Structure 1
């Protein structure tokens, strides 16, 4: 089984799987660790009706080749910036990130504020120490054994992500397996997990530095969560409200780690309302 068709670019000599479509204010959609741009397929299609939308497989994820340097949040942000330059998206964009993609959106904004018009942080990493036990295990020495591609493991992972089991489809399981079977996938996952945390949880140092820097930018920010998230617990939304008192927040009931999928229509409407508010327009 292969990944669904998408555009393929060569950026800095590295293969990048991405989708670029639509015309209008620029939007960048960033997925989470071990995932692919397919997690934003519904949002890409909907938003591209009147926005220029870029979805990208992060380095070493899905159909994108790995980096030549260790995979870390700053390294991913630099690589995403290169992709945006390659597709001509050099000005401020609405940065939308789920899970690790949320932390990546924040890192991208901090590293180059001229790229960020607003932030939409979806069940985002960075707001607390707690993370699912499965990810904490990957910080241990034997972790590579846990990353062997297997349909049962892929199904269990998908089941943890979604509150409604109807979203655990054979197509999503096949996509997860195709991504996990890439020869570099386990190495990239371990590098990222170990750069961000330990078996005890997410490291506080990078979180504190990043949140302080993002807070100083004063960007229009929307933070959303699903109340049944088993990956990053709902208490992180309360932390986000404390760290970003200026931010808009929204809680989706009976929803897991990916509101952009489980609540696709509501999510798109919420984001569009947020972008229509004064100060949130791209380039404002």
Structure 2
């Protein structure tokens, strides 16, 4: 683990693998951290330079400016620059990280080689009620202020189909992240920028997907069929919006297949990335 400076803000990153290998960039979801990608470092680092980032304001990173999809993507680009990584990356994003990955491909298409979107935001209105309630003035800050250990346990339980993944270590980490200065502010900014009490806003979704269609990249879209945060039927909308994309559904899996089905996920993406290397020759 290390920290880099991006426009005066401290951004927390993790690297593994040979720095000369092709770069893979891993992006987490709302209110989460790079720990959500920890299992993939061990499974991909033999063949790739693997970089995971606490996006600006999340995890243990500072917030240089108000939180939007664009500022998150710019912060990620700044972190890559600070690490000296200027080659096109294979970007993988979970949940909000998927939307940021798409924003990245629009903002700097020459910096993205492939996209892997994992239970990604951006393909449907439906989202867990816990995130929709944050849009209510006064209530959202109160909910986040009450993020004690029991609340964190409930949040972790909602992420996984298999409850054995809700470990004390995960809850400890979630509590520590939730106690970081400004974490509630960033969470609310992101939630309110992307949605309302009625669900994920259509405006930014349609605009982003239209821009992504102008800069198509080799894309893999995956979902856990038992996702309680963003329902698996959003995959149908993803297939319609990104007709060039490959797709896969993980059975009996929740919101984070990269954790819950770590081996299967790694094998799937390795085959996908290897195919892109062959086609580029």
Note whether the superposition's TM-score is higher than 0.5. yes
- Pick from 171, 176, 179 the counterpart of residue 177 of structure 2: 179
Alignment match, 1:16: 11
Give how far 1:60 is off: 1.0
Give how far 1:45 is off: 2.1
CA contact 1:220–1:279 (8 Å) conserved in 2: no
> How is 1:146-185 mapped onto 2 (pairs within 5 angstroms)?
146-148=143-145, 149-185=147-183
Using the alignment, how far apart are the partners of 1:132 and 1:280 within structure 2? 40
Q: Tell me, yes or no, if structure 1 residue 85 matches structure 2 residue 96.
A: no
CA contact 1:118–1:280 (8 Å) conserved in 2: no
Alignment match, 1:3: none
Using the alignment, how far apart are the partners of 2:278 and 2:105 within structure 1? 14
Q: Tell me, yes or no, if structure 1 residue 135 matches structure 2 residue 119.
A: no
Using the alignment, how far apart are the partners of 1:221 and 1:249 within structure 2? 8
For 1:265, what is the secondary structure of its paired residue? helix
Alignment match, 2:194: 196
Q: Tell me, yes or no, if structure 1 residue 39 matches structure 2 residue 33.
A: no
Using the alignment, how far apart are the partners of 1:44 and 1:234 within structure 2? 26
Give how far 1:267 is off: 0.1
Q: Deviations over 1:14-40 (max 9, x none)?
A: 111111221211100000000000000
Using the alignment, how far apart are the partners of 1:27 and 1:280 within structure 2? 17
Distance 1:207 1:266, change over 3 A: same
CA contact 1:197–1:203 (8 Å) conserved in 2: yes
For 2:135, what is the secondary structure of its paired residue? coil
Give how far 1:280 is off: 7.6
Alignment match, 2:270: 272
Segments of 4+ moved more than 6 angstroms: none
- Pick from 47, 51, 54 the counterpart of residue 51 of structure 2: 54
CA contact 1:139–1:197 (8 Å) conserved in 2: yes
For 1:9, what is the secondary structure of its paired residue? strand
Alignment match, 1:112: 108
For 1:10, what is the secondary structure of its paired residue? strand
Using the alignment, how far apart are the partners of 2:30 and 2:48 within structure 1? 25
Give how far 1:229 is off: 0.1
Count how many residue pairs are aligned between Structure 1 and Structure 2. Answer: 277
Alignment match, 1:72: 68
Structure 2 unaligned blocks of 5 or more:
none
Give how far 1:278 is off: 3.9
The alignment's TM-score, normalised by the length of structure 2, stands at 0.96
Using the alignment, how far apart are the partners of 1:35 and 1:280 within structure 2? 34
CA contact 1:17–1:56 (8 Å) conserved in 2: yes
The alignment's TM-score, normalised by the length of structure 1, stands at 0.95
CA contact 2:4–2:83 (8 Å) conserved in 1: no
For 2:153, what is the secondary structure of its paired residue? helix
Give how far 1:279 is off: 6.1
Using the alignment, how far apart are the partners of 1:7 and 1:47 within structure 2? 19
Give how far 1:62 is off: 1.4
Structure 1 unaligned blocks of 5 or more:
1-5
